[in-house]
Structure formats: C-alpha cells, structure tokens
Structure 1
Amino acid sequence: MEHTEANSSKDSGYSSVYEEDSALVFIGTVILYTIGGGVSFLGIWSNIFSMIIFYKLGLKDSMSVEFFALSFTDLLVALVQFVSCTLYILGILYPDSSLDIWSLTTLAFGYTMLCFYFTSCWITTVISIERCLCVVYPFKVKLMFTRSRCTGLIL
C-alpha cells in the first residue's frame, strides 16, 4: 500500500512540474512573439523611411547603394518576421484550424527569413570591407569599389 501511495505522489509531482513548465513555455512564447511582432513592425517602418531617404539622396556612389540594399533586405526580414509572428499568434488563438500554422510558419517563413538575414549579413560584410579599405588605401577605394562593382557584389 505504501508503494502505491509513493508512486501516486511521485506521479502527481511530475505532472504539476510539467504543467508549470508548459505554462511557462506558453507565456514565454506568447511574450516572445508579441514583442517580436512589435519590434518587426517598428523595423518595417524604419527601413521604409531609410530607403526613402537613401533614394532621395541619390544612389550615386557605392555606399549609398549598399546602405539602400541593406535597408531593403532588413525590410524583407522584418516583413517575414511580422507575418510569422502574426500567423503564430493566430495559431494560438484558433487551435482548431484545419491549416497547420506552425508548420507553415516554420518551414515557409523560417527559411525565407534566414535567406534574407544571410543576405543582410553579406551586405554588412561588404560595407565593413569597404570601410576597412578606406583606412588602408584611402585614395584607391573609390576606384576599387565602384557603384557597378558593389551592385554586382550585392546581387
């Protein structure tokens, strides 16, 4: 009899810990995706404004083209992140939906966002290399990094 009571108390202890963990994971996930959605919404607008400013200043040299492209890829990352967060929250609100929102969000938007993110990292690397070469070869950088060469590097 004692053995049964010990097992039942042990089982109930594990289930309460599991319920607490799942509640914490749920709360953390909701907070993460709502904050992530808000930050990505802010990123959408700030990148749109940056692109407008770079365009109005003119895409005359390599740096302006690179910063415009960086704003564009960051805009795409923020857009995909916002759509992903929105779909995830809709999946929580409508769990009985026939559409598997978690799979759609993870497979379609997750890899798309990573592709845009790595493109953004590549453009940041090109900008950093150009800035470093400005220090090392101050008079030759304009000849090495022309507008057409930087456009080719980015694409």
Structure 2
Amino acid sequence: DDLISDSLKDTILDVTYVSICGFLSVAGLVANTLNIIVFIRMGLNDAVNVSLLGLAVSDIFSMTFLLLESTCFNPLFQNVGLPFALMEVQFIVGGWPHICFTRVVSWITAFVTFERCVCIALPLKVKSIITATRAKVVVVMSFLLVAGSAAPEFYVNQFVWKFYPEKNVSLIGLHFIEDRDRFENVTFVLNNVLMQYLAFVAVIICTIILVVKLNEKTRWRSATARGDNTAAISVKDKKVVKMISFISAIFIASYLPSSILFMAMAIKRDFHPSGYFNIFHVTWSLAFMLEGINSTVNIFVYYKMSSKYHRMFHRTFLCRVLE
C-alpha cells in the first residue's frame, strides 16, 4: 500500500506542483530570458559568459517542462476530458525532459566552477587552457551527452491505449516494455546516479581548491601590499569566494534531494509511478520545487555579485549607464 493517502497527496501537490512550481517556472523563464540577453550583450568571446549563457539556456528548457508538469497537475486541467491518462503521460513528456535539462544544468555548473578554479589556481595559463571556443564545445557536448544517455528511458516507457475500469474508458497511458529492467539497470544508474554525483564531486572539489587558493593569495597580498590597497585586494578576493561559494551551495542544496530520490529509485524498483504512485509524486514535487528555486535565483546572484553583469543589466533594461 502507498504511504500517503490520495487526499493528502492531492493537497500537497496542489501547493507544491501547481502553485509553487508553477510560479517558480514562470519566474525562472523570465529571469533566464533576461540572463540570456545580458550575457549575449556582454559578448561570447569570454569563456565564462559562454558557460553562463549555456546554463541559462538549460534553465529555460528545464523551467519550460516544469511549467508543463505544473499544468498537468492542475485539477482544472485534469477534468477537461483529454484522451490520455494525464498523470502517466506527463511522466515522459514533462518529467523526464525536465530531468534531462537539470542534468545539463548540473554539468555546466560543474564546468563553471572548474573554469573559475583554474582562473585562480593557474592565472597565467587559464586563457590558453579554457577558451571561448572550448567552452562552447563543452556546453554543446553537455546537451548531447545527457540527451544520449537519457534516450533509452524514452524507449523503455511507451504510450499505448489502456482500459481504466475505474473510469470505464480507454485512454493513452504508460506501458513498460518487457526488457525494462535490463535496460534500466544500466542506463538509469548511469544517467541519474553516477552522472549527477560526479557533478557534485566536481563542484565540491573545485570549490575547495578555489577557496584555498584565494585564501593563500589574500594572505600573501596582505603581507606584501600596503595601505588601502591591501584592503581593496582582500575585499575583491572575498567577493569572488563568496560568489563561488554561493553558487555551489545553492546548487548542492537544490539538487541533492533529487539525487537521493534517484538513488532510491535505483535501489527500490517500486519507488516509481507504477508502484508507490502517491509518495513518488509528493517527494518529487518537493525536489522539483528546489530545482525551480535554483534556476530562478541565479539572476539575483549575478546582479548582486558581478559588477559587469550589474552594469550591462542596467544599460540594457533600465537605459542607465553605471560607472
């Protein structure tokens, strides 16, 4: 038996999926559209701008499919007499595409952290190691690799006409092929456990290296510099540490719950829409809510902590030139 009753499930999903995720997805679409415009205007000859543009694009797609999921869970939309089982179909047309693009978000976030780590650890070599062209290749490959690794999931889960006795009607619903376990034993763990945890490890390691290197440079400059210049350098370094730590913390906090849920799905096969339907959707609605927050708040991080972004934002949308 499911651990959550139907009535409690409906109440929770109305709050999380329909209301909160619906709002966050719209806000995320607006925020990342602004991000894309700003980064394009800042120029794509800089590797960091290229990476952050790729991050904004993946967030746009992620929020688009989250909005689709939110709409599917809306009670008003469920009762319009559609010819398919909405809760089953949205799992593939909304849930999995959303997850694919959040995986791209994870890898681009790891690459952004790596970029800035190299910039601090090897300042004289960073321009030759990470170029705008290489950043573009990494961003494009992130999209292609995630799409390729997730493709078998769309083969395993297929749409067929099914009879639903409780409604006395035939609808298009979800059907799992006979060899589902054979496929998912490999592809599911590879795409949704290993790839996600590798991104976490990359972000954590690069962030630790970045913070250590910045602290070393701050102490060295404080010992060699004099007067007000010492304070200026220290404040500048601390801003970089704060920004990277902020991005890393938001990413880890937002994506760790979904990673844990994927691990649970890999270990316990009943944790699936075909098994524990109610608890599956309730827990995932909370995880998607956090992912929506991550995709929405980036604009505030850039605006507050990046002077270049701040100036270009004002110049583009407020017609003001800041010194």
- What is the TM-score when the length of structure 2 is the normalising length? 0.40
Asked if 1:132 is matched to 2:117, the reply is yes
- State the match for 2:9 in structure 1: 25
Counterpart mapping for 1:60-99 below 5 A: 60-89=45-74, 93-94=78-79, 96-99=81-84
- State the match for 1:45 in structure 2: 30
| Identical pairs, percent | 23
**Structure number having the greater helix percentage:** 1
- What residue ranges of structure 1 are gaps of 5+ in the alignment? 1-17
Work out the CA distance in 1 between the residues paired with 2:46 and 2:137. 13
By how many angstroms is 1:52 displaced? 0.7
Work out the CA distance in 1 between the residues paired with 2:28 and 2:50. 20
Deviations 1:46-89 (A, max 9, x none): 00011011111111110110011100100110111001111221
Matched AA of 2:100? C
- State the match for 1:152 in structure 2: 137
- What residue ranges of structure 2 are gaps of 5+ in the alignment? 141-323
Asked if 1:111 is matched to 2:105, the reply is no
- State the match for 2:290 in structure 1: none
Does the 8 Å contact 1:50/1:71 carry over to 2? yes
Does the 8 Å contact 2:39/2:49 carry over to 1? yes
Q: Detail structure 1 runs of 4+ shifted over 6 Å in the superposition.
A: none
Matched AA of 1:53? V
Q: Which moved more, 1:72-81 or 1:91-100?
A: 91-100
Does the 8 Å contact 1:91/1:102 carry over to 2? no
Does the 8 Å contact 1:91/1:101 carry over to 2? no
- What is the TM-score when the length of structure 1 is the normalising length? 0.81
Does the 8 Å contact 2:47/2:135 carry over to 1? yes
Larger Rg: 1
Does the 8 Å contact 2:29/2:63 carry over to 1? yes
Work out the CA distance in 2 between the residues paired with 1:30 and 1:90. 8
Work out the CA distance in 1 between the residues paired with 2:87 and 2:5. 20
Pair 112,125 (structure 1): closer, same or farther in 2 beyond 3 Å: same
Pair 100,93 (structure 1): closer, same or farther in 2 beyond 3 Å: closer
Does the residue aligned with 1:120 lie in a helix, a strand or coil?
Answer: helix
Does the 8 Å contact 1:37/1:82 carry over to 2? yes
Deviations 1:87-142 (A, max 9, x none): 22157640753321111111222111111111111111111111111121011111
